[in-house]
Amino acid sequence: QNKARLLIHCPDQPGIVSAVSEYLYQHDANIIESSQYTTDPKGGEFFMRIEFEAGDLDSKKEELEEKFIPIAKQFAMDWRFSYVYQVKKMAIFVSKELHCLRELLWEWQSGDLTADIPLVISNHEQAREIVESLGIPFYYIPANKDIRKQVEAKQLQLLKDYQIDFIVLARYMQILTPDFVAAQKHRIINIHHSFLPAFVGAKPYERAYERGVKLIGATSHFVTDDLDEGPIIEQDISRVDHRDNSEDMKKIGQSIERSVLARAVKWQLDDRIIVHKNKTIVF
Amino acid sequence: QNKARLLIHCPDQPGIVSAVSEYLYQHDANIIESSQYTTDPKGGEFFMRIEFEAGDLDSKKEELEEKFIPIAKQFAMDWRFSYVYQVKKMAIFVSKELHCLRELLWEWQSGDLTADIPLVISNHEQAREIVESLGIPFYYIPANKDIRKQVEAKQLQLLKDYQIDFIVLARYMQILTPDFVAAQKHRIINIHHSFLPAFVGAKPYERAYERGVKLIGATSHFVTDDLDEGPIIEQDISRVDHRDNSEDMKKIGQSIERSVLARAVKWQLDDRIIVHKNKTIVF
Amino acid sequence: QNKARLLIHCPDQPGIVSAVSEYLYQHDANIIESSQYTTDPKGGEFFMRIEFEAGDLDSKKEELEEKFIPIAKQFAMDWRFSYVYQVKKMAIFVSKELHCLRELLWEWQSGDLTADIPLVISNHEQAREIVESLGIPFYYIPANKDIRKQVEAKQLQLLKDYQIDFIVLARYMQILTPDFVAAQKHRIINIHHSFLPAFVGAKPYERAYERGVKLIGATSHFVTDDLDEGPIIEQDISRVDHRDNSEDMKKIGQSIERSVLARAVKWQLDDRIIVHKNKTIVF
Amino acid sequence: QNKARLLIHCPDQPGIVSAVSEYLYQHDANIIESSQYTTDPKGGEFFMRIEFEAGDLDSKKEELEEKFIPIAKQFAMDWRFSYVYQVKKMAIFVSKELHCLRELLWEWQSGDLTADIPLVISNHEQAREIVESLGIPFYYIPANKDIRKQVEAKQLQLLKDYQIDFIVLARYMQILTPDFVAAQKHRIINIHHSFLPAFVGAKPYERAYERGVKLIGATSHFVTDDLDEGPIIEQDISRVDHRDNSEDMKKIGQSIERSVLARAVKWQLDDRIIVHKNKTIVF
């Protein structure tokens, strides 16, 4: 397809939109969708996502990017182009609970996730059947805290071999080392349950039940060194009441996790997410 | 304040964003927020809302608009500037049910609706006390279908005297004539209950109850000749169940009407709504 | 399992709860969950669902029901017992769109739908692969309005052969004859899209898009002769905006259809639904 | 009115419902609504709320309660009767932010809160005008941590003088002493903002903004010694995105606080809440 996206982040100042749109106009690029956001029109940070259409993107790509460099320099931009014809490669990591994996595979099968899924990695065997039935290579890499380095070395090799663009932790219940995370900055998407108030630590559903919460939630975020504290991509909740025991709450929570993670992954594939400090701008 | 908004609608074609942003840049206008939408990048309709900041808007206003004319012509634009310092004047029409009126007055009092409310018009006396207690003139104009023309003549005179920008029908239970509506095209906002499926005609809540609906909704829309069929601005629903009788459903419906109408009015005040054919683009 | 449910509907009058709970107490049945509803404590209709636990239900079943007859007579009850150990048999009818079928099969596979699915019937071949891959017999019965009687004769034979308790129309796009519907009174669950306002007839999503609706909904209901007008079991909506074209709206609509139908089917399996006139009581 | 409610909590065992419904039947009481919940039918805790109608409640009251004592003893019940004709007296405590107070007064004025509001107490003067304009006595009691005991002594005296049944903290920004809380066990309802994840401490909206949360919530709960950790009555959330700054988030949060607190207060007035350990059962 002849669609591409340009993502920009720079200090806000007059003339940015004018310069970028003039540039696109001169390269016969048709703007399909454009979103922008500024933290403060005076001295703030400026963010922009433009989706555009242009003929022969494959051959024009290099010239397009080269010609953009002076503009990027002028406004001190962080920027990247992304081309729809270059389908993103996404690895899925999973443990025993398969609800999030299933949801992603389902969406992928029905054509709603335009990604390649070159492999699934797991520290358990539960997911093998469903993954292989779809013709996706499944790698079983047992893991525990004592062999973390070796495990991650194998994983990194696979990510490299398959030229993976980003990783989805679809309920992968192993802690990643700071080295692993650093090597994949803002390229690891995680999902976890969330509550009001938070129940940090073990058995959160039982504690939520004991406290009588009326809402069960899920949060999808990029992984940073600070466990479960990375930039939030998407959140949602579902209503529960006293009749729901901790087992019911868990099922309800899984259902929200499915949809929240699927939305986050779609936005990632559509280049809709810009990370700024510890938050996301989702266009 | 030094804020203004520019709303544009024209056939989509390359160069629009470039021309408009260049123009703003040259007039030292800082873009605060910009939204655009195209029905189709090839031969579709293009819509844009830009909120910008510029010094001395009061004195620069005329020059600003004049200099925009050539651009507007070039792209065959429908367009309008709107200035935040020119607070919009909004008339409220109400009958006996006061829940929507109360919500608007509340939001206005607490500073969340930046509008002037120069008058409230009603065909009943119920609202007088609450309206006058806030120092707003209240006009009681009895109405029925036999004196519709005379009633509307009085109303139109008041709208003119008070230089009203738009009208909110906060549960005003009189049909407006095509002449009245034509004179206020896309300047009358209405609110009414909505159901899945629709229950057209009398006693909708009783029929919704008899059918056992699980959702009660409300729709806010611009008034056109086609009764309750004008462009939809906002909708929302609330969950009900078999325990809710038609009286309960009515209360729940009123609560949604309150919030749906308040959102629609806010968007109108913020110049966020563009009407296109029989639908709205809400930026 | 030793769980059972008792569903009751009768004219409201004093002493019902007392008589029923005394009866259960004397049969060593432990009430797990009890819900009741009356349209009016004076001269209204009374509805009740009791879930109870008792040992040896399989052998006690007959005595239990026999001893209930005098109470049922005294209060002029409609009533039925339902036993958890007798797993319900559910047939799924589907056409080309598989999203609702997939959701049901998924929930069934993951153990959240405690039903038997002895067969899937379709007037197209699209669903064969997914159905047979799960070991469920798939019956392809081409259909059109000219051969409706013959088609339904085949279907009825299959329903009889497999001793089906109820039918789920998971986007089955054929009209059923009054005879077929009459033979399965309140035993056919359908799902269809719903809008505020309703768009009856062809191409509803395109018309919803043209009207600029802000909500897309789905309704699950029992099928009656009055097409799409049977008692509503469940409804839900999702928010859309002007950026969603009719294709997007359709996808969003399908996602709501999935979850609304799955909830309706679960409630049916749990004997939570009582039909009264043209509405449901969902306990 | 001739309505009353009976609330029961006891160890679950066979025969409770039977005994209670037989007792009501013999006293010519008509059950209007009945809800029950058991944590576990074997050895769990049983909770029940029955709303019933009976003639001459005022004169029959004493006999009714006396005759219930043997049943209560037999099943080791916590229990209480509540009579609709005895309108509950509710005190509102407020500080500078008036949104929750306004919501409660609005609902009260429009007849949706069937309570008496004999007084409003505040440590600031902001609320005086709105409170006195409705004819409700307003008590200004300045407060700070050094004079907490004296302040609470005055408050307790007022609560006693006005025979207050329960207190609503409608954004009352003072910490209550353990003595005060102990004297009003499960009779103080509080409202506060809630986030996923939680942001404990100062400036929560700014920190929520910095973390880029996508949901803003509110929680209403009974006050216990453990600050903001009492049994949750109701929660809700609203969606936000990166465009909402901390000021916007605060406004959105206030809007949820309004509706969550109003629901919690209504349930309290309808005797729908039973506290068990650190959670609520809301019937």
| A212 vs D198, D243, D279: nearest CB | D279
Q: Are C261 and C220 in contact (CB under 8 A)?
A: yes
Q: Touching C: which chains, 3+ CB pairs < 8 A?
A: A, B, D
pLDDT tens digits along A80-107: 999 999 999 999 999 999 999 999 998 9
The residue range of the domain holding A201 is: 88-282
Residues B98 and B68 in one domain: no
**Which ranges of chain C have pLDDT less than 50?**
none
Q: Which residues of C touch A112 (CB under 8 A)?
A: 251
**What CATH number has the domain bearing residue B185?**
3.40.50.170
State whether A107 and A61 are in the same domain: no
Confidence of residue B151 (pLDDT cuts 50, 70, 90): very high
Structural contact between residues B7 and B36, judged by C-beta atoms closer than 8 angstroms: no
Least confident piece of the model among A152-166, C60-74, D38-52:
D38-52
- What pLDDT, on a 0 to 100 scale, did the predictor assign at position B1? 80
User: Given an 8 Å threshold on Cβ–Cβ distance, is C242 in contact with B280?
Assistant: yes
* pLDDT at residue A209, rounded to an integer: 86
Average per-residue pLDDT in chain D? Answer: 93
- CA nearest C42 in D: which residue? D30
Neighboring chains of D (3 or more beta-carbon pairs < 8 A): A, B, C
Q: C238 vs chain D: nearest CA distance in angstroms?
A: 14
| Six token digits for residue A209 | 């039940």
A8-48 tens-digit pLDDT: 999 998 899 999 999 999 999 989 889 999 988 788 999 99
Length of chain B equals: 283
Using CA atoms, how far residue B1 sits from A58, B24, D3, D4, in Å, is 47, 18, 57, 58
CB-based contact (8 Å) between A18 and chain B? yes
Q: B144: which DSSP letter?
A: -
What local confidence, expressed as pLDDT, does residue B45 receive?
A: 95
Per-residue pLDDT tens digits for D56-108:
898 999 999 999 999 999 999 999 999 999 999 999 999 999 999 999 998 99
Dist. CA B33–CA B31, nearest whole Å: 6
Measured over the CA atoms of residue C176, residue C182, residue C184 and residue C190, the dihedral's sign is positive
* Mean pLDDT of all residues in B236-248: 91
- Both D226 and D244 in one domain: the answer is yes
Q: State whether B68 and B127 are in the same domain.
A: no
Structure tokens at D184: 């009003």
Strand partners of residue A38: A46
A1 band by pLDDT with thresholds 50, 70 and 90: confident
Q: C83, C105, C125: which is the final residue of a domain?
A: C83
Instruction: Name the burial class of residue D81, with classes exposed (0-12), middle (13-18) and buried (19+) by CB atoms within 10 angstroms of its CB.
Output: middle
CB of B217 less than 8 A from some CB of C: yes
pLDDT mean over B246-266: 93
For residues D261 and D193, membership in a common domain is answered with yes
The pLDDT, as a whole number, for residue B180 is: 96
- Active site amino acids of C: 228
Q: How does residue A70 score in pLDDT terms, banded at 50, 70 and 90?
A: very high
Task: Please tell me the distance from the alpha carbon of residue B282 to that of residue B232, in angstroms, as a whole number.
Answer: 10
Which residues of chain D are within 8 Å of residue A242 when distances are taken between CB atoms? 37, 279-282
Please indicate whether, in this complex, the C-beta atoms of B41 and A18 are within 8 angstroms of each other. no
A217 CB neighbours in chain D (<8 A) are 196, 215, 237
Q: How large is the angle between the packed helices C99-109 and A99-109, nearest 10 degrees?
A: 160
Question: Over the stretch C188-232, which tens digit does the pLDDT of each residue have?
Answer: 999 998 877 677 677 888 888 888 899 999 999 999 987 678 999
Residue of B2, B5, B26, B30 to mutate, testing the A interface (most A Cβ within 10 Å of its Cβ): B30
- Chain-chain contact of D33 with C35 (C-beta, under 8 angstroms): no
Q: Quickly tell me which residue has 């990048």 as its tokens.
A: B41
Examine the domain organization and report whether A40 and A114 are in the same domain. no
Which DSSP helix (H) or strand (E) runs through A204? helix A204-211
Backbone angles phi, psi at C141, to 5 degrees: -125, 95
Q: What is the pLDDT of residue D196?
A: 72
A19: domain CATH number is 3.30.70.260
What is the model's pLDDT at position C170?
A: 98
pLDDT at A153: 97
Is D228 assigned a catalytic role? Answer: yes
Question: Which of A102, A243, A251 comes nearest C106 by C-beta?
Answer: A102
- Asked whether the beta carbons of residue A31 and residue B36 sit closer than 8 angstroms, the reply is yes
Among B52, B83, B114, which residue terminates a domain? B83
User: Do B99 and B57 fall within a single domain?
Assistant: no
Q: Is D183 exposed, middle or buried (0-12, 13-18, 19+ CB in 10 A)?
A: middle
CB contact under 8 A, A17 and B33: no
pLDDT score of A210 more than 80: yes
- pLDDT tens, residue by residue, D198-208: 776 778 888 88
Q: Are residues A201 and A227 in the same domain?
A: yes
Indicate which of C8, C12, C13, C25 best probes the interface with D, i.e. most D CBs within 10 Å of its own CB: C25
Same domain for B100 and B232, yes or no, is yes
Pair B6, B237: CB distance under 8 Å: no
Whether A19 and A73 map to the same domain: the answer is: yes
The pLDDT of residue A232 is 95
Domain boundary (A55, A83, A111) is at A83
Q: Does B247 touch chain D (CB under 8 A)?
A: no
D75 & D99 share domain: no
Which residues, 6+ apart, have CB-to-CB distance to D49 below 8 Å? D5, D6, D7, D8, D33, D34, D35, D36, D271, D272, D274, D283
Interface contact flag, B31 A17, Cβ < 8 Å = yes
DSSP result, C255-269: HHHHHHHHHHHHHHH
Q: Give B50-91 as a 3 state SS string.
A: EEEECCCHHHHHHHHHHHHHHHHHHHCCEEEEEECCCCEEEE
pLDDT for B206 equals 85
* Structure confidence by residue, pLDDT tens digits, A176-209: 999 999 999 999 999 998 887 677 677 888 888 8
Question: Where are the extended beta strands (E) located within chain B?
Answer: 3-11, 30-38, 45-53, 78-83, 88-94, 115-122, 138-140, 166-169, 188-195, 215-222, 232-239, 273-276, 279-282
- Provide the number of structural domains found in chain A: 2
DSSP β-bridge partners for residue B139? B121
Measure D24 CA to nearest chain A CA, in Å. Answer: 26
Question: Chain B to chain D, count of Cβ pairs less than 8 Å apart?
Answer: 12
Mean pLDDT of B239-259: 91
> In 3D, which of B155, B15, B22, B176 has the Cα closest to residue B91?
B155
How high is the pLDDT of residue D208?
A: 85
Tell me the per-residue pLDDT of A225-280, one tens digit each, with 9 for 90 and over. 876 789 999 999 999 999 898 889 998 999 899 999 999 999 999 999 999 999 99
Chain B residues closer than 8 Å to C210 by CB = 277-279
User: Are D128 and D17 within one domain?
Assistant: no
